Amino acid sequence: MKVTGQHPPRTTELTAGKAREAEGKPNRKGDAAQEGAAPAGNRTSLTMNRIREVIRNTPDLRADRVEAVRERIRKGDYQVDAERLAHQMINEALRDDLEKP
């Protein structure tokens, strides 16, 4: 281990810098060029608002697909591909296991 005499920044210095960034104020000389850009918090809010809007405008069910499957069932030509179904179920179970903390 090499001792250089340098000390890590104090916690209060780190949090003060984060507070300035969240407010959109420059905290270093290089940040002044970004002053006209939207603060990171605002960009995140805009992105989340766009995502919410898309979700709101997307129907829960695709009525056209549901009706097509119903019609195939009525005609008797709807067949389940058991191998494909099993593959998808296994993949989903594995994905769920990977996402658990």
- Contacts of residue 20, Cβ cutoff 8 Å, sequence gap at least 6: 26, 27
Structure tokens at 38: 């939207």
From first to last of its 101 residues, what are the pLDDT tens digits of the chain?
A: 455 666 655 555 445 555 555 555 554 544 444 445 555 567 788 888 888 898 888 878 888 899 999 999 999 999 999 999 999 999 999 988 888 76
Structure tokens at 61: 């069910």
pLDDT value at residue 100:
75
- Give the residue from 30, 59, 62, 24 showing the smallest Cα distance to 43: 24
Could you state, in order of their start, the residue ranges of all structural domains in the chain? Answer: 11-99
